[in-house]
Amino acid sequence: MRRLALALLALPACLPMQQLIEIKRELPVTKVVLYQNGVGYFERRGKLHGKEVELRVRPDQVNDVLKSLSVLDLSGGTPSSASLPVEKSGDRLAQELPAQVRNATGMLGLLAVLRGAEVEVDADQGTLQGRVVGVETTQRRYVNGNGEQVSAEPMLTLMANEDQLQTVPVSQIRRLTIGDKTLSVGLQQSLDISRSDGAWKPISVTVRLAGDESHDLIISYIHEVPVWRPAYRAWIESGKGIQLQGWAVVDNVSGEPWNDVNLTLVVGSPLSFRYNLATPHNVERPDLSSRLPQIADAPPPPDVGFAPSAPAPPPAAMEADFGGGGSADGYFDAAPSSGRKMAKSADAPKPMAMAMARQQAMATDARMQAQRAQMQEQMARQEEDARRDAMQRSAQALMQGRDVGALYAYEATTPITVPDRSAALINIISRQIDGKDIFLFRDPQSGEAPFRAVMLKNAKDSTIEGGPITLYIDGTFAGEGFIGRVAKDETAFVPYAKEGGFALNLQQEYRIDELHLVRIVDGRITIQGKRVATRTIQLESNRDKPSVAYVKLPLTGGMELLNPPKDFVRSGGDVYVPVEVAAKAKAEAKLVEATPVEFVEAGLTSQVLDAFRFYLQGAHVVDAIAGPIRELLTAQDQRGALQRDQENLQRQAQILDADGRRIQSNLDSLPLGPVAADLRKKLVDQLAATSKKQAEVAKKLVEGQVKLAAIDEHIRTLLAQIDLK
């Protein structure tokens, strides 16, 4: 049965495999451009002698290839056409096959559904031809060592001619040829559908060229690819800036290796989309048969819409002259060498000689310790320099950046190889940039501890794409962060840890400033000015070292900064205010914003008076208006003086009223009779004097009110006479 099934699959005359495969030329990939919108641009380049060149693409790539395919013949020729197999869904293909073929499984199943078909059978008993009548199972008896046995034997029945039937055991069939070409082709299509041929087998796009001469071709197209991802490392040394390295992770899942290609990585996302061009698209048509014999109307047309410097060289290692006494391995003995002998004075007493020897030994020991410390410092410096040099050598950027229209691209300086189904890590950035280690208050209102952060300033003509960043400070891992996209001259803050040791207080106050007189109409005064908001940052540090902290504050919409602080950074609707604070000290910084305001007043308020005075100080003063304004200011000054007098009189009246009530109370408490007569008389006289003063004060208050009313009327009259538009 297995031999028969294999023979059936080899129906197309069992030709040799090399005769079934049509060999076409395929150009190598020479250029790859990867974007961050999920597509890649590919170029194939080479010379070809012939009329056809083949592109092999995966089924999920074919739509993008058809949408973007471009063929250039630098030899002067022209492409004539490009073709590919028509792809249909498996369900739709199956529906187009005969029902017998769709349902056939195995030899017996196939013979059962070939009922009525013309076949040719090559069996043990010879070659039989005829139409398939059917397959039935018969009982066959045979004898072996176990006695008589019964087995089921499938038998094929053929109609050899109009009145003759022949049977042949299915087990004896060596070859079966289907005479119906439709069924034979349908069977092969059914087998293709069963193995999901289009889901894994590459599709061949054949480009045909005009003429048989040689062709120097460039074939380009795009298709979907994984986006390339950047990742960064930053080495920070005190006083030496920041060494930034950027690496790109590139995935090759295109289905073929990229050998020595020109690789470009583009920062940015040009618009792109999916569009199905490979699958035939059938439009459902209206059936207008019921309208016969009328002429059917055409369908309407579709609606269409428009939618900062290079890293400083490492300091040279200090050369120390250690003199003698050093061992070959660079270390020194704590005691003098045995080859040296101390000078001995014959005349010196023995205790004095011993003291001198001890002093010399101590001096020698101190000198050798200093030499050892100096040598260790030199070795540490050499180690640091070696690390820095190795780091810089290991991070030589393999790409150069340049502008590509509105985008920015990193182009490989040497050919890059990325095997199929693999990822590559490629260095795209290696340079010294401006930056420093700081503290960052991202939300000063929350009371949370600040972040340790790195402030990076991108002063180069390139964009740093967003990605993870690993930070090393003074050679030690400090933390990880994420850096967003940083364009030229932009500054980024990268938090990498949290640390306390600070107390922050934020205060805010408002005032109206720079009042300008705009218009006066019917006594209504329009004034423009600035509403000034001042936010004061008070920072107290408990750290043992000086610190620089940046405080993030939101900007008020429509406001402008007045005298912005030095080294501040603005990012969209936020501003980062620097505060430098010494060790165990306090510091303060201010952010002042101003926004234009306009308001209307109906009288001489303090803001109107300020606007009048500011107007008279200006260069464009109209005399017809300046005179009444000066008179208004004079009247207002008089009114102010009178108002102050009235307030003093009111306070006097209150005091006199209290004195009168006190004197009257004392009179009421005196007993009747001659004993208290003198005291009563004094109190009566005091009460009369107080009443007289009250009357005088009351008179002055009334007179003052009359004067105030007259001044107010005068002010209203003057305002009515001023017409400023």
- Tell me how far apart the alpha carbons of residues 384 and 390 are, in angstroms, rounded to a whole number: 10
The whole-number pLDDT of residue 570 equals 87
The whole-number pLDDT of residue 67 equals 87
> Do 97 and 10 fall into the same domain?
yes
Region 243-272: mean pLDDT is 87
Q: What is the CATH number of the domain that holds 717?
A: 1.10.287
Which domain-ending residue is among 498, 523, 549?
498
Please report whether residue 376 resides in a domain.
no
C-alpha triplet 484, 456, 406: angle, nearest 5°: 50
Locate 304 and state its tokens: 């269409």
> Do 522 and 572 fall into the same domain?
yes
Is pLDDT larger for residue 268 or for residue 291? 268
Residue type, 554: P
pLDDT digits (tens, 9 = 90+) for 23-71: 346 789 999 999 888 899 999 998 888 788 888 888 888 888 888 888 8
Q: Does residue 119 come out as left (phi exceeding 0), alpha (psi in the -120 to 50 range) or beta?
A: beta
> Do 14 and 100 fall into the same domain?
yes
| Secondary structure (3-state) at 592 | strand
Window from 353-367, 453-467, 550-564 with minimum mean pLDDT: 353-367
Please report whether residue 704 resides in a domain.
yes
pTM: 0.54
The whole-number pLDDT of residue 589 equals 94
DSSP 522: T
> Do 632 and 696 fall into the same domain?
yes
pLDDT confidence tier of residue 652, bands split at 50, 70 and 90: very high
Is pLDDT larger for residue 723 or for residue 442? 442
> Do 672 and 691 fall into the same domain?
yes
The whole-number pLDDT of residue 666 equals 86
The whole-number pLDDT of residue 6 equals 38
Which residue is associated with the tokens 């108002």? 643
- Tell me how far apart the alpha carbons of residues 238 and 475 are, in angstroms, rounded to a whole number: 11
Window from 494-498, 511-515, 544-548 with minimum mean pLDDT: 511-515
Is pLDDT larger for residue 84 or for residue 263? 263
Please report whether residue 674 resides in a domain.
yes
Please report whether residue 596 resides in a domain.
yes
Please report whether residue 171 resides in a domain.
no
- The boundaries of the domain holding residue 551 are 508-601
Please report whether residue 388 resides in a domain.
no
pLDDT confidence tier of residue 535, bands split at 50, 70 and 90: very high
Which residue is associated with the tokens 């008993």? 125
Q: Indicate the number of domains in the chain.
A: 4
**Secondary element (H or E) of residue 595:** strand 586-601
Please report whether residue 302 resides in a domain.
no
> Do 704 and 674 fall into the same domain?
yes
> Do 201 and 73 fall into the same domain?
yes
> Do 6 and 101 fall into the same domain?
yes
> Do 562 and 707 fall into the same domain?
no
pLDDT digits (tens, 9 = 90+) for 587-628: 999 999 998 888 888 888 888 888 888 888 877 777 878 888
The whole-number pLDDT of residue 534 equals 92
pLDDT confidence tier of residue 293, bands split at 50, 70 and 90: low
> Do 641 and 577 fall into the same domain?
no
> Across all residues in the chain, what is the average pLDDT?
77
Which domain-ending residue is among 443, 468, 498?
498
Please report whether residue 381 resides in a domain.
no
Cis omega before residue 293 (within 30°)? yes
**Secondary element (H or E) of residue 629:** helix 623-669
> Do 113 and 238 fall into the same domain?
no
Which domain-ending residue is among 471, 498, 525?
498
Give yes or no for a contact between 660 and 687, defined as CB atoms under 8 angstroms apart.
Answer: yes
337 has pLDDT over 70: no
pLDDT confidence tier of residue 467, bands split at 50, 70 and 90: confident
- Tell me how far apart the alpha carbons of residues 116 and 371 are, in angstroms, rounded to a whole number: 108
- Tell me how far apart the alpha carbons of residues 570 and 576 are, in angstroms, rounded to a whole number: 6
The whole-number pLDDT of residue 295 equals 52
> Do 105 and 219 fall into the same domain?
yes
**Secondary element (H or E) of residue 610:** helix 606-616
